[in-house]
Amino acid sequence: MSLRVEHPAPVLRRWKCELTIERNKRNRMQIKTILNRVQKFKSFVFGTVRWIEGASVPTLEVAIQPRINSRPVCSGCGCKRPGYDTLPERRFEFIPMWGNRVFFVYAPRRVECPDCGVRVERMPWVEGKHRLTEAYAWFLAGWAKRLSWKEVAEAFRTTWDHVFCSVERAVMWGREHQDLSGIEAIGVDEIAWQRGHRYLTLVYQIDGHCKRLLWIGEKRTVKTLIRFFRWFGKERGQALKFICSDMWKPYLKVIAKKAGQAIHILDRFHIMSHLSKAIDAVRAQEVKELKEKGYEPVLTKTRWLLLKRPENLTDKQEIRLADLLRYNLRSVRAYLLKEEFQFFWSYISPYWAGQFLDKWCTKTMRSRIDPMKKVARMLRRHRPLLLNWFRARKQFSSAIVEGFNTKAKLTTRKAYGFRTYLCG
């Protein structure tokens, strides 16, 4: 009976083991080969590639080593310098492969530089103190042109901050390399993130022939926009013909001061989104009241009916909207006011547009719907700037004005990865 089990187990085990090593070697070879194709560094080589067990997302780590006999380069001056010591290993995130996160692992050397002192060496895959490799940052920034920043973060299992940081790096790079001559029209926009606690100010070029993101700054204060104009330069600022922005006070102030010669336009997109927000507030309040009074929930699931343009509704939604409009609800009256306001944009003459605006505001002020009254007051306050929209369109019927219309604005936003939020 002992004959049947004559050492097959150890033999088999050894054979299996060799096979695994061989297979691993082959796998490793393949990943290294790919990396050498896409990202080869002169003075560094890729070492072992390994799986990180137990990570929440499948993760690959690729070791990087300095090529034998290569001397480190000082990150300060870019010269080859004698080594000083070696720092602990650091991880740099690279472009994910087949849904796996990929990290480069490298223990940076420090150099003793006669000019710069003791410095970390230059690593060609990363810039400064970033944790994302250059390749990954460009990869994310590229996707951020097609998807919203949030979507990019989700798709590649990274954070909003990393995506933002990558876009910022791309814009910074652009700042140093782009041609800023001949810019006549800019748009100033803000985005909120972290649940509205933090803001960014974005400035685009919106000329007919060229739409692009020019500048990103933190917050949305007077200082923020002043920083933009300082960077942009006095001469270029004074050559601007159009500026498009929201009714945000700090922006209005700075624009009037720094580019008073330009026609300042409050864009349609922002104005309509103020109205949409007002409707949202009215509806939310009314839903609550109806519920408390125990009425049939006529307003539940009507948000999109009231916010979408009628031409974008499906047949079914159209029927439901018609049904809803029979009720004398504040939400319905607010909706009708907003739809009426759409006529404003169809005027050609600034004078008649102004007349319409005044009538609409008076009517809205009598509506006893507070959020709508708030918008009406705001529009009244900015009457001249609102009417600039018509002056600009009259004066320049060309592609330039297209930059201000909702559709173009939306495309620009989308092109730079904004969530296209609701508009009129």
Q: Which residues bind Zn ion (CB under 5 A)?
A: 74, 76-77, 113, 115-116
DSSP, collapsed to helix, strand or coil, labels residue 52 as strand
For Zn ion, which is the closer residue by CB, 116 or 281? Answer: 116
Residue 119 CB, nearest approach to Zn ion (Å): 6
**Separation between Cα atoms, residue 246 and residue 423, nearest integer Å:** 13
Q: Are 333 and 367 in contact (CB under 8 A)?
A: yes
DSSP, collapsed to helix, strand or coil, labels residue 300 as coil
For Zn ion, which is the closer residue by CB, 116 or 222? Answer: 116
Residue 41 CB, nearest approach to Zn ion (Å): 20
For Zn ion, which is the closer residue by CB, 74 or 123? Answer: 74
For Zn ion, which is the closer residue by CB, 115 or 289? Answer: 115
**Separation between Cα atoms, residue 408 and residue 208, nearest integer Å:** 10
Residue 177 CB, nearest approach to Zn ion (Å): 25
**The two three-digit tokens of residue 315, written as one number:** 């047949």
Write the DSSP assignment of 116-169 as a string of letters: TEEEEBP-TT--TT-SB-HHHHHHHHHHTTTS-HHHHHHHTT--HHHHHHHHHH
Q: Which residue has the tokens 């796996």?
A: 100
Query: Residue 156: which region, alpha, beta or left (left: phi > 0; alpha: psi -120 to 50)?
Result: alpha
**Separation between Cα atoms, residue 400 and residue 243, nearest integer Å:** 11
Helices (H), 294-369: 303-307, 315-324, 330-341, 350-365
Query: C-alpha distances in angstroms, 407 versus 58, 124, 202, 418?
Result: 41, 41, 18, 14
Residue 240 CB, nearest approach to Zn ion (Å): 42
**Separation between Cα atoms, residue 417 and residue 151, nearest integer Å:** 9
Helices (H), 178-314: 222-232, 234-238, 249-258, 268-292, 303-307
Residue 76 CB, nearest approach to Zn ion (Å): 4
Residue 266 CB, nearest approach to Zn ion (Å): 51
For Zn ion, which is the closer residue by CB, 66 or 217? Answer: 66
Residue 109 CB, nearest approach to Zn ion (Å): 13
For Zn ion, which is the closer residue by CB, 31 or 116? Answer: 116
For Zn ion, which is the closer residue by CB, 11 or 118? Answer: 118
Residue 77 CB, nearest approach to Zn ion (Å): 3
**The two three-digit tokens of residue 107, written as one number:** 């223990």
For Zn ion, which is the closer residue by CB, 66 or 350? Answer: 66
